[in-house]
Amino acid sequence: MVHQMIPPGSILGILGGGQLGRMTALAAANLGYRAHIFAPEKDSPASNVAWRFTCADYNDQQALEAFAANVDSITVEFENVPEAALTLLAELKPARPNSRALATAQDRLVEKKYLESVGFKAAPFQAVDGPEDISKALEVFGSPIILKTRRFGYDGKGQVKITSSSDVKAAWAELGQSPSIAEGFVNFTREISVITARDIMGKIKSYPAVENRHENHILRQTIAPAAELGKLAEEAEYLASQAIKGLDMVGLLAIEMFVTDDHQLIVNEMAPRPHNSGHWTMDFAATCQFEQLVRCAMGLPLGSTQILRPAEMTNILGDEVNEWPKLLADPNVHLHLYGKAEARTGRKMGHWNKAQ
């Protein structure tokens, strides 16, 4: 198969209008491309910096076809784009990542099974289709367990911890009786992630594993690289490369993992797109994750994933964004704001990077 580089001046189509799309569009511009955003929201962080914007529903076939006709390659910044939309687009233009990667990441049950199949260890899990499955999981895995909806969960939404059989009915109702998975609770000491990239030639490069610190289920800080992982760093990178290869996808795959008390790696979840834990690469890696995605989508060779300097990334949540003058008073802070008008509690408004 002949692989073609899509030359500068061409158009990258991005499904999704969030900050990940915004930073991908900016990286595309740096390489001389134009970005065309497709998103249902009228005003979005990505559409504000893009060359063109289609405001339409992901199920609008006519709008999808017109979008495909207007772009040279397509990527996603949001993994809950309906699989059917990407499948339709992939018949018309290169879709990177492919719809298989998207479908795998959209369903926690399919995702966990896939990650185990490439060699990751996962917490014990089982499908839940009713309260009796939850009771069974509690009996088999022991208390506590975590119940998570198979679809549309993020930042701790769509999940609930269950400690006793008296919680079962309420938990099932809280998740709206949606198909779910029950997972055994992992006693972890740290959470880490690896972002790996695969180009159209099948070449794979990973960024070093980083440590992620959460507050109220939302990522607060990433430390790059994660300290003292020893052999686990290599294991995480190797397994991530197996996961991206197995999906035959071109693009970025982020994988979140736990490190347990006894120094084992337990996989949590994956995302076939740029990831919040990779934002440090914008200022402290040889190639930032957004440029890496643009390179993948446009058929260019991968850039170096080398870390230039140990760094920290901190998310700016809600009205913390009003503290921008204070952040800028430190000349070593690299500030990245997403241009969101409304600072709702817990909403990701921006982030800052700083050398450690």
User: Which residues bind to ligand AMP, rule: CB under 6 A?
Assistant: 123, 146, 153, 156, 159, 183, 185-186, 191, 214, 217, 256, 268-269
As measured in angstroms, the least distance from the Cβ of 191 to ligand AMP is 6
Q: Which residue is nearest to ligand AMP (CB)?
A: 186
As measured in angstroms, the least distance from the Cβ of 269 to ligand AMP is 5
Characterise 169 by phi-psi region: left (phi > 0), alpha (psi -120 to 50), beta (else).
alpha
Contact partners, residue 134, CB within 8 Å, separation at least 6: 128, 145, 147, 162, 168, 171, 172, 182
Nearer to ligand AMP, 104 or 268 (CB): 268
Torsion of CA 134, 186, 232, 194, to 10 degrees: 60
Using omega within 30 degrees of 0 as the cis cutoff, is the peptide bond preceding 97 cis?
Answer: yes
Nearer to ligand AMP, 111 or 291 (CB): 111
Nearer to ligand AMP, 185 or 324 (CB): 185
Nearer to ligand AMP, 146 or 252 (CB): 146
Nearest to 235 by CA among 214, 260, 266: 266
As measured in angstroms, the least distance from the Cβ of 257 to ligand AMP is 10
Q: How many beta carbons lie within 10 A of that of residue 19, not counting itself? A: 24
Helix axes 83-90, 99-106, angle to 10 degrees: 170
Q: Give me the helices (H) in the chain, please.
A: 19-30, 61-70, 83-90, 99-106, 108-117, 131-141, 168-174, 231-246, 281-284, 289-297, 324-328
As measured in angstroms, the least distance from the Cβ of 64 to ligand AMP is 29
As measured in angstroms, the least distance from the Cβ of 185 to ligand AMP is 4
As measured in angstroms, the least distance from the Cβ of 126 to ligand AMP is 12
Nearer to ligand AMP, 35 or 224 (CB): 224
Nearer to ligand AMP, 43 or 116 (CB): 116
